[in-house]
Amino acid sequence: MKILITAGPTHEPIDPVRFIGNHSSGKMGIAIAEEFAKAENEVVLIKGATNLNPINPSIKQIKVRTAAEMFDACAQYFSSADVIVFAAAVADYTPKFPSATKIKKKEDEFSIELIKTKDIAAELGKQKTDKQIIVGFALETNNEEAHAKEKLERKNFDFIVLNSMRDEGAGFQSNTNKITIIDREGNTTKFDLKEKIEVAKDIVGYVQKIINKK
């Protein structure tokens, strides 16, 4: 199969030395890419601003920095992919007028006008065919399952992988993760805290479960 995976954060430039970003390491997305590649699938990994790299040399890496660059790269490969996993932590907003030169410290207060970035998963989810499987991620801090289910429907995912920031050992930077998978049929499956490579096996296994039903 042809697999498209996004991983890591995006960095939205304020000026040449500063950016808006988040704490995503890209570890989860890279682990999923490794697991799919291990099964001899053709994997394209669109990787945001992280220094981590997959080990498997067969994984095609496309490095991007901003949300706009990630959208363009995803759009290029989306239609030919059988499975798409949106694991990247894409910035929701980007500076409207990034400075071409370093902004100097002057005033006591400083404001930046922000505009929404394009919602990659939602936009490409509109193009989804019956033959494609799309997996999304939701990292939440409150009303976790309600927010995840809303995102599942709005972005046309086959299932969503929910993380809670309230779970110790889960989320950004950690080598472990604790997930709940919610699918379009209303099934909710909770998993124990595991190493991310083991979590990747659970996610890939759930994809295979859906494929077997088709």
22 classed as catalytic: yes
Q: How many angstroms separate the first and last alpha carbons of the chain?
A: 15
Q: Please tell me the number of Cα atoms within 13 Å of 25 on its side-chain side.
A: 15
Tell me the two tokens of residue 165.
């920031």
Handedness of CA 115, 125, 177, 30 (dihedral sign): negative
Tell me the two tokens of residue 52.
């981590």
Residues 22, 41, 56, 156: which is the catalytic one? 22
Buried-exposed string 66-97: b where 16+ CB fall within 10 A, e elsewhere? bbebbbebbeebbeebbbbbbbbbbbeebbee
Residues classed as catalytic: 22
